[in-house]
């Protein structure tokens, strides 16, 4: 007998021109697709964190599944939609989920800040027997989430999809079918820049909300010159004093009021962006460097890295050439991180460099380092064991590991 919970995210591949048409008209198709990619990732992470729930992505049969694989968390399945239009697709998806679960929920990727607690509340309402169907209405008249213990095809009949009448029509269908409906507090979709502004404001100030991928992308777009809202921080800065400045970093002290009303002085370092390069040769070896680091007075293992506010791929190419003499056939940004967000503004980007070949190095006067290459599997193991002493370098290697494995598999000749 089926037991447990299942969640289906009904979506399509975040491909430019295929998603978020209103945002595309305001911000461009490529930016809209990037935003939808982040929205989808956040929706999947929220769903995957719900206790005792399995998660599946439902997508059009001819969709670009390779793009969906890039955002799919471990254990989340890809399932092709069946049927024509949401009147058929949604109950069919529920039927598929309920084949292995007692209660199923459907959501989309348009509400990246939807709290996981609302998903749990929807399940609880149905599991407790208080309702046959639980729906979280969208503020634009649609719905953000639906949970039920059966596919109930009549719930989806004669609904004017993608209009402000969706929730009211589904509620009327439930009443006509004698279904007990529990309406959750409404949430909002992101379809245009005005709603994006609300999202940015909420993500900037509310620590209860998810949305890590969306937060990161909004920051990157703003830093790149896209006119996007930044939201209001929960702490108010009154004065900012530069205590010390060097070519690499500045010590800053802010006089501010916290969210609880306390006035404090907060000192931290302002530092330019950095890039950590994970170089991989065609024969499956990762290029490391042994480098002397003065603050700790030791020589430790790192990956090539350097700072600069230029495009991360340009910085990666420069640092790879300077520190190892290497030139890559392909450069791909994998992720970005704040190494010590309580102490510095420093943000680092992880760039994977494939097909690296070597030439002459161009070391700076302060650099005392020596490159070495190790097999990829050994580098992964060393990163996990703490033998690559720079934490940022170890994190970069582990973040790039799935992409490295995929690239090396593609390079193996097929019989």
Q: What is the 3-state secondary structure (H, E, C) of 342-385?
A: CCECCCEEEEEEECCEECCCCCCCCCCEEEEEEEHHHHHHHHHH
Integer CA distances (angstroms), 300 to 326, 394, 396, in order: 20, 12, 15
Q: Is the dihedral of CA 390, 395, 401, 404 positive or negative?
A: negative
Would you state the pLDDT for residue 207?
A: 80
CA 106 to CA 297: how far, in whole Å?
55
Would you state the pLDDT for residue 231?
A: 66
On whether both 255 and 172 belong to a single domain, the answer is no
On whether both 117 and 74 belong to a single domain, the answer is yes
Q: Is residue 44 part of a domain?
A: yes
pLDDT by residue for the chain (415 residues), tens digit each?
Answer: 566 999 999 999 999 998 999 999 988 999 999 999 999 999 999 999 999 999 999 999 999 998 999 899 989 999 999 999 999 999 999 999 999 999 999 999 999 999 999 999 999 999 999 999 999 999 999 999 999 999 999 999 999 999 999 999 999 999 999 999 999 999 999 999 889 988 988 888 788 888 889 988 888 888 777 777 666 788 999 999 999 998 889 999 999 999 999 999 999 999 988 999 999 999 999 999 998 989 988 998 999 999 888 889 999 999 999 999 999 999 999 999 998 999 999 899 999 999 999 888 887 777 788 888 999 999 999 999 999 999 999 999 999 999 999 888 865 444 4
For residue 27, what are the β-bridge partners? none
On whether both 157 and 192 belong to a single domain, the answer is yes
Here the tokens at position 192 are 């245009």
Kindly report the CATH number assigned to the domain that includes residue 353.
Answer: 3.90.79.10
Q: Is residue 338 part of a domain?
A: yes
Would you state the pLDDT for residue 413?
A: 45
Whether 199 contacts 113, CB under 8 Å: yes
On whether both 197 and 292 belong to a single domain, the answer is no
Collapsing DSSP to helix, strand or coil, 129 comes out as coil
Integer CA distances (angstroms), 218 to 14, 45, 201, in order: 16, 18, 11
- Using only the alpha carbons of the chain, give its radius of gyration: 25
Whether 140 contacts 191, CB under 8 Å: yes
Kindly report the CATH number assigned to the domain that includes residue 64.
Answer: 3.90.550.10
Out of 269, 284, 315, a domain closes at 269
CA 257 to CA 409: how far, in whole Å?
53
CA 41 to CA 33: how far, in whole Å?
12
Q: Is residue 145 part of a domain?
A: yes
* Residue for token pair 């058929």: 88
CB atoms within 10 A of CB 391: 13
Whether 217 contacts 34, CB under 8 Å: yes
Would you state the pLDDT for residue 160?
A: 96
On whether both 124 and 199 belong to a single domain, the answer is yes
Q: Is residue 220 part of a domain?
A: no
Whether 374 contacts 361, CB under 8 Å: no
On whether both 84 and 185 belong to a single domain, the answer is yes
On whether both 113 and 129 belong to a single domain, the answer is yes
Counting the structural domains of the chain, the total is 3
Burial class (CB in 10 A: 0-12, 13-18, 19+), 36: buried
On whether both 38 and 147 belong to a single domain, the answer is yes
On whether both 155 and 206 belong to a single domain, the answer is yes
Q: Is residue 223 part of a domain?
A: no
Give the range of the structural domain holding residue 254, as residue numbers without chain letter: 235-269
CA 205 to CA 235: how far, in whole Å?
9
Here the tokens at position 144 are 């953000």
What's the predicted TM-score (pTM) here? 0.82
On whether both 261 and 319 belong to a single domain, the answer is no
Q: How remote is the C-alpha of 338 from its chain's centroid?
A: 14
On whether both 264 and 282 belong to a single domain, the answer is no
On whether both 108 and 137 belong to a single domain, the answer is yes
Here the tokens at position 96 are 């598929």
Q: Is the dihedral of CA 364, 366, 372, 374 positive or negative?
A: negative
Would you state the pLDDT for residue 412?
A: 46
Q: Is residue 68 part of a domain?
A: yes
- Residue 330: half-sphere exposure toward Cβ, Cα within 13 Å: 11
Phi-psi domain of 158 (left: phi exceeds 0; alpha: psi -120 through 50; beta: other): left
Q: Is residue 317 part of a domain?
A: yes
Q: Is residue 228 part of a domain?
A: no
> Edge to edge, what strands does the sheet with 236-245 contain?
236-245, 249-257, 263-271
Would you state the pLDDT for residue 202?
A: 87
CA 277 to CA 349: how far, in whole Å?
8
CA 270 to CA 389: how far, in whole Å?
24
């Amino acid at each position: 007998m089926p037991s447990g919970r299942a969640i289906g995210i009904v979506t399509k591949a975040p491909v430019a021109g295929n998603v978020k048409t209103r945002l595309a008209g305001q911000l461009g198709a490529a930016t809209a697709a990037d935003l939808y990619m982040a929205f989808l990732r956040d929706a999947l992470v929220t769903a995957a964190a719900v206790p005792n729930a399995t998660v599946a992505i439902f997508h059009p049969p001819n969709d670009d599944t390779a793009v969906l694989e890039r955002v799919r968390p471990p254990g989340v399945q890809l399932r092709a939609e069946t049927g024509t239009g949401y009147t058929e697709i949604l109950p069919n998806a529920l039927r598929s989920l309920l084949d292995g679960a007692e209660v199923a929920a459907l959501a989309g990727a348009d509400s990246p800040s939807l709290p996981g607690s609302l998903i749990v509340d929807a399940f609880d309402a149905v599991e407790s027997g208080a309702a046959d169907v639980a729906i979280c209405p969208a503020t634009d008249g649609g719905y953000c989430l639906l949970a039920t213990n059966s596919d109930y095809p009549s719930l989806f009949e004669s609904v004017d999809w993608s209009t402000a009448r969706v929730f009211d029509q589904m509620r009327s269908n439930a009443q006509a079918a004698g279904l007990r409906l529990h309406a959750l507090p409404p949430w909002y979709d992101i379809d245009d820049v005005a709603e994006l502004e609300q999202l940015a404001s909420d993500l900037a100030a509310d620590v209860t909300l998810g949305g890590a991928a969306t937060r990161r992308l909004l920051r990157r777009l703003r830093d790149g010159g896209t006119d996007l809202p930044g939201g209001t921080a929960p702490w108010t800065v009154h004065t900012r004093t530069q205590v010390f400045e060097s070519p690499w970093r500045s010590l800053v002290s802010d006089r501010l009021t916290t969210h609880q009303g306390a006035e404090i002085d907060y000192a931290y370092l302002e530092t330019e962006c950095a890039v950590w390069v994970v170089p991989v040769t065609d024969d499956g070896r990762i290029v490391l460097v042994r480098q002397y680091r003065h603050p700790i007075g030791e020589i430790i293992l790192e990956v090539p890295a350097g700072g600069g506010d230029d495009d991360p791929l340009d910085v990666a190419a420069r640092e790879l050439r300077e520190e190892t003499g290497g030139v890559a056939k392909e450069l791909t940004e994998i992720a970005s991180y704040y190494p010590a967000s309580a102490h510095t503004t420093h943000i680092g980007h992880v760039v994977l460099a494939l097909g690296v070949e070597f030439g002459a190095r161009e070391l700076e006067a302060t650099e005392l380092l020596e490159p070495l290459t190790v097999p990829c599997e050994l580098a992964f193991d060393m990163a996990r064991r703490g033998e690559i002493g720079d934490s940022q370098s170890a994190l970069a290697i582990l973040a790039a590991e799935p992409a490295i494995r995929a690239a090396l598999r593609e390079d193996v000749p097929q019989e």
